[in-house]
Amino acid sequence: MWPTLPWSYWLGFVLILWLLFDLIRGEAYIWKAYRRESEPGMYWFTMLVWAVVAASCFIFPYWPYD
């Protein structure tokens, strides 16, 4: 079962691990690093952006021409 998963699922798993790592570390990165203590709004916005990207890997797993 695992080897037959689409590549987008694997990317989604990696992004979720990255999200968990950033949540533990307290620093997230889009175009610059945002620390949870100093810039909480941008930190949580960045986490939301990456969570949406990760979720999209599972919601839309296939290219339209597959």
**Residue range 9-63, pLDDT digits in tens:** 889 999 999 999 999 999 998 889 999 999 999 999 999 999 999 998 888 656 5
CA distance 38 to 58: 32
For residue 39, give the DSSP letter.
Answer: -
CA distance 47 to 41: 10
pLDDT category, 2, cuts 50, 70, 90? low
Residue from 46, 54, 55 nearest 22 by CA: 46
On the question of pLDDT at 65 being above 60, the answer is no
**8-38 exposure pattern, b = at least 16 Cβ within 10 A, e = fewer:** beebbeebbeebeebeeeebbeeeeebebee
pTM for the whole thing? 0.78
